Homo-oligomer: A and B are copies of this chain.
Amino acid sequence: MASLLRLPSLLSPSKPLLRRRLPAASSAAGAAAPATAAETRGGDREGQVTPRSVDFNAWYTDVIAAAELADYGPVRGTMVIRPYGYAIWEAIQDYLNVKFKETGHSNMYFPQFIPYSFIEKEASHVEGFSPELALVTIGGGKELEEKLVVRPTSETIVNHMFTKWIQSYRDLPLMINQWANVTRWEMRTKPFIRTLEFLWQEGHTAHATLEEAEKEAMQMIDVYTKFAYEHAAIPVIPGRKSRVETFAGANRTYTIEAMMGDKKALQAGTSHNLGQNFSRAFGTQFMDENGQIEHVWQTSWAISTRFVGGIIMTHGDDAGLMLPPRIAPIQVIIVPIWKKGDEKAAVLEAVDSVQKILKEAGIRVKVDDSELRTPGWKFNHYEMKGVPVRIEIGPRDVANKSVVVSRRDVPGKQGKEFGVSMEPSILVNHIKDRLEDIQASLLQRAITFRDSNIVDVSSYGELKEAIAEGKWARGPWSASDADELKVKEETSATIRCYPFEQPDGIKKCFMTGNPAEEVAIFAKSY
């Protein structure tokens, strides 16, 4: 129940006190003041956040605490998503919600309590999910006759309702989505990446033909891919899961696989062609144009708060987060700087005017004019939070009618531009240009990182070597499920996907030497 996010160093009484005094001692704006809770928790990165280059996992956990993205909940494995982390999730929601509606889906809401008997109806579904279920057994003070499952996913209850709503081919396609919480009793948890309860959207559709369902499943993995590339600056590799890795209840699972900063793979979104598995289990039938009764063909697809973890682990450096401008809750932070009392009014007036100019241009801008913090503290704090652009305005800038602009993705002096005009149209264009540059540069950096860490292998030995180096291995594969499990056992790597993008020419399975139609990507994963 204690905050695991607080580092042990915080428990020693001397260090926090030392840190509390430092900002006041070097204060340029405002008098010394008692530390706030925020200060003792984050923002002052020295001594608190493990450098990314030293220990990636520790950095990840530290950054989540220091940037106030999330905290641990009182129940093991649960997570509280704090406002800054939730704002990233809202940016994801805003984009996807528009795309889902454009592609013909309506939002709705299904109850989270599912009769236990529903889960048992689809054989592979129950096998996949039953070890992870949370069960409600008492309601209103009484033992329930039938245990209720807290939804781990909604295919079963969706099909129960679809069966009531669908009768004719004219009711098809039925295409819906819900934003909801889901519960899976995970043993090893990690903030955002794997938690007992998480937030997601789950799309569910029913179609008259297999072809339509396949087209829908592909369309949605394409929506996710575009989102990842264009907004989150994550160069995911879209592809098909192996049989072993396919969703419990699906015929085919499509996935987007992302390479994290430690080179481990993250499954960042999935789209399933469910075939008729659930419609047969739940009797979801329709009368086709010829008067024949048929089972519907279905899909489901989901992206979750895990994606926020993916964003954190793709970008970032020793100084903290690095957020792609398109999903950054704050795109520009303005820090006023003054030393003498009589400078203050003019500086704050300029800050206010610059803020208005940027806000009107649709840029998400925040001013930190707190007098409890030094400008230096603020620089570190908003770097930790990954804000893409910082604007500094001091008395000299006011005199010159200009500002100082710094890019989060280019540290130090190289990323700093002096004398950027305050003239509204010039300033707005300048900032928009920088935001676009940063967006493109984060993506390019991630592509370069990804491509330099994928090794093409033509033997099992080469695969083992690549995996041992922490890299991804890509090679022709047509071996058995048993061979796939053997690779997992011996190397901890799994098939992440058969990528949609395939090399031309005849291939030989690197494991068996038999002909192979496709290359597969193997990697260790979260």
Residues of A participating in the B interface, judged by any CB pair closer than 8 Å = 3, 33-38, 40, 71, 73-75, 78-83, 85-87, 89-90, 106-115, 118, 130-141, 147-148, 150, 157, 160-161, 164-168, 170-171, 176, 180-181, 183, 185, 187, 196-197, 199, 287, 372
Contact = CB atoms under 8 A, between A and B. Distances in A.
Contacts of A185: 139-141
Contact of A164 (B3, B115, B157): B3
Contacts of A372: 170
Contacts of A71: 161, 164-165
A79 B111 contact: yes
A43 to B, nearest CB: 13
Given A83-B107, A140-B131, A148-B75, A40 B167 contact: yes
A166 B36 CA distance: 8
A131 B80 CA distance: 27
> Which of A82, A112, A180 is packed against the most chain B CB atoms within 10 Å?
A112
A170 B73 contact: no
Q: How many copies does the complex hold?
A: 2
A197 B111 CA distance: 7
A376 B146 CA distance: 46
Contacts of A86: 106-109
Contact of A35 (B89, B138, B139, B168): B168
19 contacts: A34-B287, A36-B170, A36-B171, A38-B171, A40-B167, A71-B164, A73-B110, A74-B160, A78-B113, A80-B110, A82-B108, A86-B107, A111-B196, A113-B134, A113-B197, A130-B141, A133-B138, A133-B141, A140-B185
B166 A73 contact: no
A181 B111 CA distance: 9
A78 B75 CA distance: 26
A185 B143 CA distance: 12
A75 B111 contact: yes
A80 B81 CA distance: 26
Given A75-B111, A75-B148, A113-B197, A37 B171 contact: yes
A196 B140 CA distance: 10
A171 B139 CA distance: 38
